[in-house]
Amino acid sequence: MSDVAVATKPSTIAKANIWTTNPVFMQVLGICSALAVTNLVLNTLIMSFGVIFVTAFSCLTVSLLKSFIPRKVRMIVQVLIISFYTIIVDLVLKAYLPTVSRNLGPYVGLIITNCIIMGRAEAFAQGNPPLISFFDGLTSGAGYMGVLMVVAIVRELLGFGTLLGFQIMPANFVPWIIMVMPPSAFFLIGIIIWIGKDALRRQGALTE
Amino acid sequence: MKGHGLLYTIIFTFLVCFVFVFILSLTNNVTAAQVALNQRLSQQRAILSAMGIEFSSDNEVQRLFREIRQEQVGQETLYLATQDGTQIVAALFSGPGLWGTIRGVLALNGDGSRIVGLELISHNETPGLGGRIDESWYKGQLRGELVAPDGTIEMVSRRGVGDSDSENGGMDGITGATRTSESMVVILNNEIARVRNLIIIIGEIS
């Protein structure tokens, strides 16, 4: 992450973050939570919104403060800012959505260690104006959400036979226990990386 | 970004930490009451449903909970209620599961010979596997279960058929979550012994 990307067109940024350099299936970042929270669609939704919120506002704050932050403590301050927003998300969930907070357990707190956020703060927000950094954070989070939702929909459908808690599969459907366990997310993300990279190669967007 | 001296770095870092931590403490203060209320409600809800008392709203939970008698025995609190003419005794428990502490409520009848109900407050078991101890079929199978003469509950393993007999002191485990199921049986048996003991003690006091 040494090169600071300078892109100014929002549409280019959005396309890159959601598709051509998608944080999960192209950069393979944020995999830990992608394995842990994707067995139920509802948990994945809330978790993704949490990540989008934290990424967007962390990027905004880092960008606003960038000229005041001494280089030596740059990363420490970034982590501080990310932790700040993460703890706010955690507190709000605990107070107003106690059941969801219980289901997500430690993973909300672990948003702090999500490499996507640190990556965007360091690679983009550090060298770009606040508003576009905010937008960059927003779309990076959306790119994360997109992949996680696909994984979660497959896992909940095959692992529980439900979607958002509603029974979808017929009554005699036998749930796949593997889909409930973290390894299935490995397989699914592997398949998504394969399909995604293949599609990008056909488009000619992939240079290696 | 260059040319920041050591003193500037120290002061800047200190200030940034101070400001962010200050805002966090404020947020924590604002939400603390709500968080505490949620925790209290979830505990009260668990105690009521372990006792088999039905409720529909949070207000009802608080109203019904006020009718429950609480008896202090040393450090322990016993929750006492009378439902359809029978005494119910409930207590909070916590014990080791596969990944972390399992906390919940176990309710027994007045002499500790039957389980009235089981409810869980928190656990860290694998979602979809051990986490299924929080599903209603798992907790519900113990409703009205007779404790075996030796004071224990046993996990019954039989191929393809569940244990629906509530007179044999047996319960079903969870397929794919043997360790969690075994931990639950140990926790429940310890708790049955503990609550029976407490029942004897309050019996002697009153």
CB B78 within 8 A of CB B70: yes
Give the residue among A195, A148, A192 at the shortest CA–CA distance from A31: A148
Residue A201 confidence class, pLDDT cut points 50, 70, 90? confident
Q: Does residue A96 sit at the B interface (CB-CB below 8 Å)?
A: yes
Q: Do the chains contact at A71 and B129, CB–CB below 8 Å?
A: no
Quick check: B27 and A181 CB within 8 A?
A: no
Give the H or E element holding residue B155: strand B154-155
In chain A, whose CA is at the least distance from the CA of B176? Answer: A177
SS3 at position B77: strand
Interface predicted TM-score of the whole assembly (ipTM), two decimals: 0.77
| Beta-carbon separation of A180 and B122 below 8 A | no
Quick one: pLDDT band at residue B17, thresholds 50, 70, 90?
A: very high
- Which span out of B101-105, B135-139, B176-180 was modeled with the highest average pLDDT? B101-105
Q: Which residues does chain A have within 8 Å of residue B8's beta carbon, measured at their own beta carbons?
A: 70
State which residue of chain A sits closest to B175, comparing Cα positions: A177
Instruction: Report percent pLDDT > 90 for chain A.
Output: 37
A19 to chain B nearest CA, in Å?
A: 31
How many Å lie between the alpha carbon of A106 and the closest alpha carbon of chain B? 10
- Contact with chain B for residue A190, Cβ under 8 A: no
Which residues does B61 contact at the CB level (< 8 Å), separation at least 6?
A: B41, B44, B45, B48, B55
| Chain A hits for B127, Cβ within 8 Å | 39-40, 103, 180
Asked if residue A4 has pLDDT above 60, the reply is no
Region B116-141 average pLDDT: 88
Put simply, the answer to whether A66 touches B8 (Cβ < 8 Å) is no
Tokens 């501080």 found at:
A80
Q: Higher model confidence: residue B91 or residue B4?
A: B91
Residue-level pLDDT at A58: 95
Predicted confidence at residue B1, as pLDDT, reads 46
Q: Give the nearest partner residue to B1 out of A71, A88, A181, using CB atoms.
A: A71
**pLDDT tens digits, A129-147:** 999 999 999 999 999 999 9
Separation of alpha carbons B121 and B134, rounded Å: 9
Examine the pLDDT at B14 and tell me if it is beyond 90. yes
- Residue B56 — pLDDT band, cuts 50, 70, 90? confident
Residue B3 has pLDDT above 80, yes or no: no
Is residue A5 over pLDDT 70? no
Contacts of A38 (CB under 8 A, 6+ apart): A44, A148, A151, A152, A155, A185
Higher pLDDT: A103 or B38? It is B38
Alpha-carbon distance of B128 to B103, in angstroms, equals 18
Mean pLDDT of A143-162: 92
Q: How far is Cα B146 from Cα B114, in angstroms, rounded to an integer?
A: 4
Calpha distance B96→B123 (Å, rounded): 9
- Check residue A7 and give its pLDDT: 53
Could you give the count of Cα atoms lying within 13 Å of B80 in the half-sphere of its Cβ?
17
DSSP per-residue codes, A8-36: --HHHHHHIIIIIT-TTTTT--SHHHHHH
